[in-house]
Structure 1
Amino acid sequence: MFGSPVDFSFKELNTIPDILSDVPNPGALRLKRDSERKFLSRTLRLNNNLISDLSGLTDTISALFAEPNRLAWLDLSFNEIEHIDPVLTQLKELRLLYLHGNRICKLSEVDKLAVLPSLHTITLHGNPIVTEPDYRAHLIATLPHVKMIDFSAVTKQERELTSVWHKSRNPRKSMSQSKVD
């Protein structure tokens, strides 16, 4: 089974590969490792560092985790991230993504995450993006599997209202879909 989170928070790390020359913070439970000394975990915490881009993420998690493709929870909150790196789209089993307290400015950045089929929780509060009109509606329309945004549940009513909002903003798309039906 998978063990405790691998926690590199509050380490003043500037880049993702910096993790490889550091040791994770001790947790309440001992971190489990396989015979190759790779972590048996599905959670990586990199919050409260100085990371501005995700260069080297794939190689780093491959070096750290026994099953890097099974990473389910990634905490990148309180860093210096301005753009959502497409490398995140390779994490097909990612379920929780914390990006709050960064510097993401454009709603279009979130669109990159639409290809993640298992993503059900995302946080972006504390980024300039939250001041964009229709911020939450855009996230709900773009990320159809999401159940929680900024620690707040997406309700059935909110999803229905967002569907109407999205169709009104994309009339050509909704008209072409009705022709197909």
Structure 2
Amino acid sequence: MATQLTGLLNHRRQRAERAEDAEAASRRRQEEFELAHLVELNGLLHEYVGTLPPLAGALRTYWARAQELTVTERDAAFPHEAMTATTAAARAVRSQIGFILPGEARQRVTEAYEAVDLASADLLLNDEGPDFGVMGTQMNKAYEALSARVREIYAGQANRSTGRTLATPSTRRA
């Protein structure tokens, strides 16, 4: 009887350990996926903002040459190419915003996206150009929100490896 009881207890303990290991592996995969997404989105935001100077330069050159009536075929094509790059970068960011981001980070990235979108429209429609200060402020808030989430994930991983627990938004929901 004692042997059967010991076997049953060992079986339950092993089953609990396997379930705990499976849960930890699942959490690691989720965190790795989210980290990769956060890094990718950060890069996409930088790329999107990086399309604005070439667009501004292309438009300035085109408008200056248009006033002088010296527009070449290349002068006419370059603004279109620059706008195509800006549009592609905007679509890439927009497609990622609602994908996995937690609430505050999603809000900050959305605000930054909208600020860059407005800046690109201002480049096309306004001789004075956009207010890069507003855009920069929104971008900094988005970068900080993404960075905070990355730090939160790493803090949770570090605490789990040392056996401590840390209440994070993702663990508070559970």
TM-score by length of 2: 0.22
From the CA coordinates, give the structure whose radius of gyration is larger: 2
Structure of greater relative contact order (alpha carbons < 8 Å, 6+ residues apart) = 2
